[in-house]
């Protein structure tokens, strides 16, 4: 396993030198920039995320500038990305960071709203150069197929030190991301041009996860409600029924979810976005 791990690392980094993707946020070690792109790119294709990142970083170049804004402004800029609770958590994080800064939180970035293990490690690697693996779906897929294992996380727990030995973690993490996005993809893999092909176990796991339809879903309705609230400040539930042409039960379910996520408040029959 040690020899094969070293082969993987060497091959990935060699491939990355000639094939790495160019993004503006890859040229910075500013933790705010890294946090911003990582939150925006969750559940979002990277090219689309980059467009939103540029818009956000221009308006909010630091946590302080975002913290002085309003949730309504953030949600308006976020429109089209979906999962609006990510925008709220980003806004909440900006308030925390404007008060105490990244350096006082380091390395415990999981204390920020919406920051899990992957985002924490991405900040540690890309902003601080710490030797950690940012374990995303790309890394897991490559490890699973190459070594023929059911659990990439088990492999990472045992052999991450080998992978990270004598290298820049930023380069390795980005190599995994780019390789998984262009060669070892979730479907239509390009094994014919893969530099790992000869030593790869080609262990393809059948995914049992079904893709939920967005059209007509509760997630879509939540987004429509937020969009209406941005335009009209407040609205009655009866007006929502007319404008969305959805059943009252679906609207109430969506409102309850948004209220639980702290995105809106309701008083009697009127709802509005929480301003701060």
**DSSP secondary structure string, 206-226?**
PP-PPPPP-TTSHHHHHHHHH
Active-site entry in 38, 110, 220, 232 = 38
> How many Å apart are CA 193 and CA 70, to the nearest integer?
48
Q: What is the model's pTM?
A: 0.86
pLDDT at residue 98, rounded to an integer: 98
> How many Å apart are CA 93 and CA 9, to the nearest integer?
34
pLDDT at residue 215, rounded to an integer: 76
Active site residue 38: yes
* Enclosing H/E stretch for 264: strand 264-267
> How many Å apart are CA 197 and CA 185, to the nearest integer?
14
Radius of gyration of the chain (CA): 21
> How many Å apart are CA 20 and CA 66, to the nearest integer?
31
pLDDT at residue 210, rounded to an integer: 44
Q: What region does 133 belong to: left with phi over 0, alpha with psi -120 to 50, or beta?
A: beta
- Residue segments in the chain with a per-residue pLDDT below the cut of 50: 207-211
Neighbouring residues of 178: CB distance < 8 A, sequence distance ≥ 6: 16, 19, 20, 21
Query: What would the pLDDT profile of 60-70 be if each residue is shown by its tens digit?
Result: 999 999 999 99
pLDDT at residue 212, rounded to an integer: 58
> Domains in the chain, ordered, with CATH?
2-21+133-199 (1.10.1670.10), 30-128 (1.10.340.30), 218-273 (1.10.10.10)
């Amino acid at each position: 396993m040690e020899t094969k791990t070293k082969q993987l690392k060497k091959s990935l980094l060699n491939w990355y030198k000639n094939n790495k993707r160019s993004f503006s946020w890859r040229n910075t070690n500013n933790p705010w920039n890294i946090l911003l792109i990582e939150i925006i790119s969750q559940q979002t294709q990277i090219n689309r995320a980059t467009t939103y990142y540029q818009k956000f970083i221009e308006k909010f170049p630091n946590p302080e500038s975002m913290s002085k804004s309003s949730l309504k402004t953030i949600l308006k800029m976020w429109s089209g990305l979906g999962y609006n609770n990510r925008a709220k958590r980003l806004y909440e994080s900006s308030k925390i960071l404007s008060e105490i800064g990244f350096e006082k939180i380091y390395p415990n970035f999981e204390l920020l709203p919406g920051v899990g293990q992957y985002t924490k490690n991405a900040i540690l690697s890309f902003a601080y150069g710490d030797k950690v693996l940012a374990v995303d779906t790309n890394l897991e897929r490559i490890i699973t197929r190459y070594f023929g294992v059911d659990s990439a996380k088990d492999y990472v727990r045992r052999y991450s030190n080998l992978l990270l030995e004598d290298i820049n973690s930023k380069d390795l993490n980005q190599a995994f991301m780019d390789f998984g996005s262009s060669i070892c993809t979730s479907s239509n893999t390009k094994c014919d041009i893969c530099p790992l092909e000869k030593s790869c176990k080609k262990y393809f796991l059948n995914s049992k996860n079904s893709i939920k339809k967005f059209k007509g879903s509760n997630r879509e309705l939540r987004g429509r409600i937020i969009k209406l609230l941005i335009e009209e400040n407040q609205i009655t539930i009866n007006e929502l029924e007319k404008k969305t042409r959805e059943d009252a039960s679906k609207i109430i379910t969506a409102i309850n979810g948004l209220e639980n996520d702290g995105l809106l408040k309701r008083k009697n029959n009127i709802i509005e976005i929480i301003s701060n």
